[in-house]
Structure 1
């Protein structure tokens, strides 16, 4: 049990530094100083900085399946499931240091001397499943191909994250995501009413903070709402 707690503490400390400084800008010595553990303890649990980075990325990927299943099994239309899931994922990227660090590390994967899992592929699959379900129930416009649309939706979602992170550290990600869905749903829905769908989702998944409230603490190690697969 103590070994598990130590491994988790080291992983979260490393994630904080990887998120703030990137892979190249973080050393085992930095992790040792911030965690209060010796370098020897770090190497005991994680044989190298590369292995520690891999563990952070794998933890990022391990965060998603249960979260996805909860949304996918909800008793609501498929498009509402998809939009609700997107807001939950957006909040995890904003608020969970391990999720953020895993994303940054993958972007820097060429500098890491160990293979990392491939992102996005499973996300495209999940979105395609939900859009296919929406199509089967008449929610989707007849001209929309669920598989092709899934690829475009995932590109738009993660492109939004990249820009939001660069401009304001994802502080306004929910507002920006709301704007994106107003645009996308106008093309996806069989009977377009994006505002009404977003209002229903917002009622079930209210914002994590009030619009004028304080920004979330992005430095403290934390957990996503559930458990990141190669998504």
Structure 2
């Protein structure tokens, strides 16, 4: 396939993915049809089926793109010059912002919540989050920053579940615009039990500033298609 056809195929997949994400976030999985995705994207329904094979396929692609992998975020939190607890808190602010503002992330979260209505296995996003949190907590323990009775793996599981519950419930009760402030309250309380020499205010202040800087540098979106079918060499540019 030549580069022009590949570029057209990528553009088509991107437009379909973004249109589907908007609809899934607004209407949910059951309330969105392939015809809706076609109309929102300006592409044909045949294009949807060619690039993603089914509505389940495009739902899976939406979840994988933002909500389940967070591959675009992970690389930012390997800087050993920044204390690990500060990196963990900064990461939480970035994820909270994405859950509140990014359409693909919001769609992924809603689809995962509605997973019982989708005839396809959706990836578990919390395993990735928990692994990342465990690594950062283990680094904090090695650096002598954790209270002596804090166990990284068990603590990470609790933190990830509590964090997601906080974001979900806050948005439901107050709207997405308050999530950052409620997260700040939560970290002030939580860090008191995590840190050996507790000074949550400084950690939270630095982490919020770092997350704000990162938000100002929005990375280019990348679309990871799933469920495409048919001989790509012949029809990949179909739209």
TM-score by length of 2: 0.83
Matched, 1:116 2:93: no
| 8 Å CA contact 2:60, 2:122 repeated in 1 | yes
Q: Distance in 2 between matches of 1:203 and 1:7?
A: 35
Tell me if 1:145 matches 2:156.
Answer: no
Distance in 1 of aligned mates of 2:138 and 2:194:
12
The Cα of 1:178 is off from its aligned counterpart by: 0.4
Distance of aligned partners of 1:35 and 1:16 in 2 relative to their CA distance in 1, 3 Å threshold: same
Task: Give 1:27 shift.
Answer: 0.7
| Aligned position for 1:196 | 202
Q: CA deviation at 1:224?
A: 7.1
The runs of 4+ residues in structure 1 deviating greater than 4 Å are 223-228
User: How many angstroms apart in 2 are the aligned matches of 1:86 and 1:178?
Assistant: 10
Displacement of 1:28: 1.0
**Higher percent of residues as helix:** 2
Deviation at 1:89, TM superposition (A): 1.1
Shift of 1:195: 0.8
| Corresponding position: 1:136 with 2:136 | no
> 1:34-45 to 2 correspondence within 5 Å?
34-45=40-51
Q: Which residue of 2 aligns with 1:186?
A: 192
2:26 aligns with one of 2, 20, 36: 20
Give runs of aligned pairs for residues 50-129 of structure 1, distance below 5 A: 50-61=56-67, 64-129=70-135
Q: Deviations over 1:43-79 (max 9, x none)?
A: 2212111111111111124651231221222521110
Q: Does the aligned pair in 1 maintain the 2:93–2:208 contact within 8 Å?
A: no
Provide the C-alpha distance between the structure 2 equivalents of 1:203 and 1:54, rounded to a whole number of angstroms.
33
Q: Which has the larger radius of gyration?
A: 2
Cα RMSD for the two superposed structures: 2.2
**Structure 2 unaligned residues grouped into runs of 5+:** 1-6, 224-239
Instruction: Give SS of 2:124's match.
Output: coil
Kept in 2, the 8 Å contact 1:63–1:227? The answer is no
Unaligned runs of 5+ residues in structure 1 are: 210-222
Shift of 1:205: 2.9
Distance in 1 of aligned mates of 2:183 and 2:137: 18
Q: Could you give the per-residue CA deviations for residues 178-208 of structure 1, whole angstroms, max 9, x where no partner exists?
A: 0110010010010111112112223333389
